A and B are shown apart, each in its own frame.
Chain A
Amino acid sequence: MTDLLYSEEEEALRSAVRDLLADHCDAPGVIARTESDTPHDPAAWKALADGMGLAGLLVPEALGGQGAGHREVAVVLEELGRAVAPVPYLSSAVVATEALLECGDEELLGRLASGRAVAALAVGLHRAPGTAFAAARLENGTLHGELTGIADAAAADVLLVPAEDGGLYAVAASDATVTPQVSLDLTRPLAAVVLTGAPGRRLGDAEPAVRRALRAGAGLLASEQLGLAEWALTETVRYLKERKQFNRPVGGFQALKHRLAQLWLEVVNLRAAARNAADALANGEDVDLAVAVAQAYAAPVAVHAAEEALQLHAGIGMTWEHPIHLYLKRAKADSIAYGTAGAHRSAVAELVDLPTP
C-alpha cells in the first residue's frame, strides 16, 4: 500500500539537510552568487555529497552509494527547493544517476555517488519523459553537434550525451565547449554544449536511459516544488502577521486570509501528490500515472505560491534584494522542466483512457 507519510528517519534526514542549508545557503549569499562567475555553490555541494553522502542515495551500496531510495531523495529535494539551493542535485544525483543505473555503468555511478564527479544528462531540461530529444552526430567514433538547454552543465565533470546511433555516451566536460546560457532560473542555470569531435564512451541505449531519467526527474521535481511552495506560503504568512497597514496586521484582512488559506490547501494537496510519486518510484508500482499526476498538479501550485508571495509582499516582493524573485524564477522554470503540466495531463489522458477528441 502506498505510504504517504514521512518516516522518523526521513524527518531526521530533513532536519540534517535543513541545518546544512541554513549554514551554506542563506538568501543574500545565493543572490550574490547568481551574479558571480560561479553560480553553483561548490561548498554546499561538497557538504551535501561528501559530508552527508546524499549524492549516492539512489545508488546501491555495492556500487559505493547509500542504497536508500526515492522517498529519501524526495525529502532532500523538498529542503533544496525550500532554499532554492544552487546545487546540481536533481540533475546529477537524480537524473544523470538514473540514466546510469539504466545503463549499469558501475564506474561512473561510483564517482557520482561519492560526489567526486558531477554529471549532467545532455537533454534539454524542457523535455517530458517519453518525448523526442535531440542527439549528437557520430562521425568516425567522435561526437559532433550542439545541444542546448542543458541544466547544470556548467557544473558538470561528465556529460551524458545521446547520439544518433541510439547510444548514450559519456563525454568529459573538458572535451566539450560548455557555454552558459542566460537563464530565467538563476539557481539552476542552463548551458549549451558544443561537441566538435569529442571522444565518448558508449554507456548503453539512450532511449530507455533517458526515459527513466526524465521520469524520475519529473516525479521528484514535485518534491522540490513542494519545498518551494511551502517556503513561499510560510514566509508570506510570517510577513503578513508582522506587516501593518491601516493600523492592523495585513494578515487580518479577510481578502488576504482567504488567498493564503487557499494556497495552504494547494500545498497540502501537493504534499500528497509528491509523496505518492516518490513512493511509486521507490516501489515501482503505478509509476507513470503517479508521476504524471504529480507533475500535472505541482507546477501550477508552485508558480501560484511564488506569485502570491510576490503580490502579498507587495513592494518589497518586487525587489532584487528580497529572495522571492529567486523562487518565482525557479518555480516558473520548473513548470517547464521535464514536461509542462499540459504535457503531463496528456500522459494522464493516455494512462487512464480519457482519449483526445
Chain B
Amino acid sequence: MTVDAAELRRRTTELLAAHPPATTDRLDFLRARFDAGLAWVHYPQGLGGLGAPRSLQVVVDAELEAAGAPDNDPRRIGIGLGMAAPTILKYGTEEQKQRYLRPLWTGEEVWCQLFSEPGAGSDLAALGTRAVREGENWVVNGQKVWTSSAHLARWAILIARTDPAVPKHAGITYFLCDMTDPGVDVRPLRQITGEAEFNEVFLTDVRIPDSRRLGEIGDGWRVAQTTLNNERVAIGGMRLPREGGMIAPAAKTWRERPELRTHDLHQRLLKLWVESEVARLTAERLRQQLVAGQPGPEGAGMKLAFARLNQEISGLEVELRGEEGLLYDDWTMRRPELVDFTGRDAGYRYLRSKGNSIEGGTSEVLLNIVAERVLGLPAEPRTDKDVAWKDLAR
C-alpha cells in the first residue's frame, strides 16, 4: 500500500500530539520524527521513511512548520543529506543503514565528502589516495582538498584507489571514514574571500575497517556516481520567489541609491534581472515536471545558469557601488559553517561566486555533460580508458 497525503497528515498529527514541540527537546523530537517515518517519507520504513512518493514530503514539512516543530537544519548537514544518505541507502549493508542514517538525518553526526584531490578535480577518477588491504583493515594514505565541513564532520564519504594496476575507473573503492581516527588531519584552506570555508584533509596511515567499505572492492566509481548525481539534482525541488536570488541585493541597491545610477549599468541590470526571472521560471518548470513525474533534463543546465548569473550580477553590483566598490568588508580569516551570500558585501559575493562555476563540477564539464547526454553529441576521444592508472601521465 502506498502512503498518501491524508495518511501522512494523520501520522504527522500523531507525532505532534505525542511530542509537542513546545515541551520536547529538539533532538528528542527529531529522533521521534525519524522513527515515525516522517524524516524523508520516500525512504523505506525503519530508515526514516514510509516508502511514500517523494513529492509528498512537502505535506509533512508544511504541517510541521506550521506547528513550530524544530527542523534538522538541512543546510548545515547538506552533504550528509544530499550525498552520503542516498549513496548509503543504495549501496549500504543493513547494518550500515541502521548505524548511519538516523544520526545523519538528525544532524547529530555531520558528514563531509573526501573526493577531490589536488591532482584530480574535473578528472576525479584519476585520484591517487591509496587504500591498501591489511587483514580486516584498509590503510589509507593521501590528500584531499576543497572539503566543506571537514572541520565539523564526524564522518566522511571517501573514495580511494585500491588497485593501481587497472584502468582508473576500475580500481577505486568507496569507504566511510571516521574523521576522529588517528591519521586524519584537517587543515583550513584559506580562500580568495579571506575566509576558510573549505579544508585540506591529509590522510596518513588511517585504518578503515573493511566493514566500513560501501559497495564492492573496485566498484567505487559506480557508487560515487550515485553521490555525484545527487549532488547535481539538489537544486531541483527548490522554489524561488521573484527577485529571490543574487539579483535581490543588486536591485535593492539600485532602488535605494539613485546617485549611483548610470545608463550603462541600467541596461546591464535590466538584462540580468530578466535573465534571473527566466532562470527562476525554468527552475519552476523543472519543479512542476518533477511533481508531474516527468523529470526533464533541465536540471543539468540550472547550475550553469545560476553560476553565470551569480557572477555577472555580483560583478555588476561591485561596479554599481563605485567608490565603495573599491573597499571590502572584512579580510579576517574565519571558519564559517555556511556560505553567507546575503550577509556580506557585494565584493564578497563577487569573489565567492567565482567558485560557483567550479564547485560541484566545473561549468566546462557540465557543458560536456549536456552536450553528450542531452544532445547526444560524440564523446571526447578518451586516451586513458584502457591504460592502467599507474601508467597514466600525471
The reply on A275 being an interface residue by CB < 8 A is yes
Q: Contact: B370 with A2, CB < 8 Å?
A: no
One of A4, A293, A297, A357 near B285 (C-beta < 8 A): A4
Q: How far is the CB of A76 from chain B (nearest CB, A)?
A: 20
B256-296 vs A, CB cutoff 8 Å, 1 = contact: the mask equals 00100111011101110111011101101100110010100
CB-CB under 8 A from A296, the residues of chain B are 270-271, 274
Q: How far is the CB of A343 from chain B (nearest CB, A)?
A: 11
The reply on A258 being an interface residue by CB < 8 A is yes
Given A241-B377, A261-B367, A5:B278 Cβ within 8 A: no
One of B273, B282, B368 near A354 (C-beta < 8 A): B273
Docked Cα-Cα span, A237 to B376, in Å, equals: 8
> Quick one: closest A residue to B304, CB to CB?
A265
The reply on B91 being an interface residue by CB < 8 A is no
CB-CB under 8 A from B381, the residues of chain A are 248, 252
CB-CB under 8 A from A271, the residues of chain B are 282, 285
Given A258-B371, A354-B266, A348:B274 Cβ within 8 A: yes
- In chain B, residues 355-374, which have Cβ atoms closer than 8 Å to a Cβ of chain A? 364, 366-368, 370-372, 374
The reply on A264 being an interface residue by CB < 8 A is yes
Q: Contact: A254 with B274, CB < 8 Å?
A: no
The reply on A33 being an interface residue by CB < 8 A is no
One of A254, A268, A353 near B282 (C-beta < 8 A): A268
Docked Cα-Cα span, A348 to B279, in Å, equals: 16
CB-CB under 8 A from A264, the residues of chain B are 301, 370, 374-375
Docked Cα-Cα span, A257 to B370, in Å, equals: 9
One of A258, A260, A276, A352 near B281 (C-beta < 8 A): A276
Q: Contact: B371 with A261, CB < 8 Å?
A: yes
CB-CB under 8 A from A241, the residues of chain B are 376-378
> Quick one: closest B residue to A3, CB to CB?
B288
A249-278 vs B, CB cutoff 8 Å, 1 = contact: the mask equals 101101001101110110011111101100
Q: Contact: B371 with A273, CB < 8 Å?
A: no
Q: Contact: A252 with B288, CB < 8 Å?
A: no
Given A272-B281, A345-B267, A354-B266, A237:B377 Cβ within 8 A: yes
Q: How far is the CB of A300 from chain B (nearest CB, A)?
A: 9
Q: How far is the CB of A357 from chain B (nearest CB, A)?
A: 4
Q: State the main secondary structure of chain B at its contact with A.
A: helix
Q: Contact: B377 with A240, CB < 8 Å?
A: yes
Q: Contact: B263 with A265, CB < 8 Å?
A: no
Docked Cα-Cα span, A346 to B274, in Å, equals: 11
Q: State the main secondary structure of chain A at its contact with B.
A: helix
The reply on B393 being an interface residue by CB < 8 A is no
The reply on A356 being an interface residue by CB < 8 A is yes
The reply on A349 being an interface residue by CB < 8 A is yes
Q: Contact: B301 with A268, CB < 8 Å?
A: yes
How many A residues touch the partner, as a band?
35 or more
A263-307 vs B, CB cutoff 8 Å, 1 = contact: the mask equals 011001111110110000000000000000100110000000000
> Quick one: closest B residue to A296, CB to CB?
B274
CB-CB under 8 A from B65, the residues of chain A are none
Chain B CB count within 10 A is highest, among A2, A268, A352, for: A268
Q: Contact: B378 with A251, CB < 8 Å?
A: yes
CB-CB under 8 A from B278, the residues of chain A are 269-270, 272-273, 293, 297
Given A258-B364, A354-B273, A269:B282 Cβ within 8 A: yes
The reply on B305 being an interface residue by CB < 8 A is yes
The reply on B228 being an interface residue by CB < 8 A is no
Q: How far is the CB of B317 from chain A (nearest CB, A)?
A: 13
A332-356 vs B, CB cutoff 8 Å, 1 = contact: the mask equals 0000000000100110110011111
Q: Contact: A265 with B273, CB < 8 Å?
A: no
Q: Contact: B375 with A261, CB < 8 Å?
A: yes
Docked Cα-Cα span, A342 to B266, in Å, equals: 11
CB-CB under 8 A from B292, the residues of chain A are 5
CB-CB under 8 A from B267, the residues of chain A are 342, 345
Q: How far is the CB of A9 from chain B (nearest CB, A)?
A: 15
The reply on B380 being an interface residue by CB < 8 A is yes
Docked Cα-Cα span, A20 to B89, in Å, equals: 50
Q: Contact: B255 with A354, CB < 8 Å?
A: yes
CB-CB under 8 A from B17, the residues of chain A are none
> Quick one: closest B residue to A257, CB to CB?
B371
Q: Contact: A357 with B266, CB < 8 Å?
A: yes
Docked Cα-Cα span, A342 to B282, in Å, equals: 22
Q: Contact: A353 with B288, CB < 8 Å?
A: no
Given A5-B292, A357-B261, A257:B368 Cβ within 8 A: yes
Q: Contact: A2 with B284, CB < 8 Å?
A: yes
Docked Cα-Cα span, A251 to B289, in Å, equals: 29
Docked Cα-Cα span, A28 to B67, in Å, equals: 66
> Quick one: closest B residue to A289, CB to CB?
B277
One of B270, B282, B305, B380 near A349 (C-beta < 8 A): B270
Q: How far is the CB of A72 from chain B (nearest CB, A)?
A: 18
Docked Cα-Cα span, A314 to B183, in Å, equals: 58
The reply on B379 being an interface residue by CB < 8 A is yes
Docked Cα-Cα span, A96 to B275, in Å, equals: 30
- In chain A, residues 166-221, which have Cβ atoms closer than 8 Å to a Cβ of chain B? none
Q: How far is the CB of B308 from chain A (nearest CB, A)?
A: 9
Q: Contact: B378 with A249, CB < 8 Å?
A: yes
The reply on B251 being an interface residue by CB < 8 A is yes
> Quick one: closest B residue to A4, CB to CB?
B285
Given A5-B285, A240-B377, A268-B282, A293:B269 Cβ within 8 A: no
Q: Contact: B374 with A293, CB < 8 Å?
A: no
Q: Contact: B263 with A356, CB < 8 Å?
A: yes
Q: Contact: A260 with B375, CB < 8 Å?
A: yes
> Quick one: closest A residue to B379, CB to CB?
A252
The reply on B205 being an interface residue by CB < 8 A is no
> Quick one: closest A residue to B375, CB to CB?
A237
Given A5-B289, A237-B377, A354:B270 Cβ within 8 A: yes
State the B residues within 8 Å of A (CB): 243, 251, 254-255, 258, 261-263, 265-267, 269-271, 273-275, 277-279, 281-282, 284-285, 288-289, 292, 294, 298, 301, 304-305, 364, 366-368, 370-372, 374-381
State the A residues within 8 Å of B (CB): 2-5, 237, 240-241, 248-249, 251-252, 254, 257-258, 260-262, 264-265, 268-273, 275-276, 293, 296-297, 342, 345-346, 348-349, 352-357
Given contacts A252-B380, A293-B278, 8 further A-B contacts (CB under 8 A): A2-B284, A5-B285, A5-B288, A258-B364, A276-B281, A348-B274, A354-B270, A356-B263
Q: List 26 A-B contacts (CB under 8 A).
A: A4-B288, A248-B378, A251-B377, A254-B368, A257-B367, A264-B375, A265-B304, A265-B370, A269-B275, A269-B279, A269-B301, A269-B305, A271-B282, A293-B277, A293-B278, A296-B271, A296-B274, A342-B267, A346-B270, A349-B266, A352-B243, A354-B251, A354-B270, A354-B273, A357-B262, A357-B263
Q: Which 6 residue pairs spanning A and B have beta carbons closest together? A: A252-B378, A257-B371, A357-B261, A261-B370, A272-B281, A4-B285
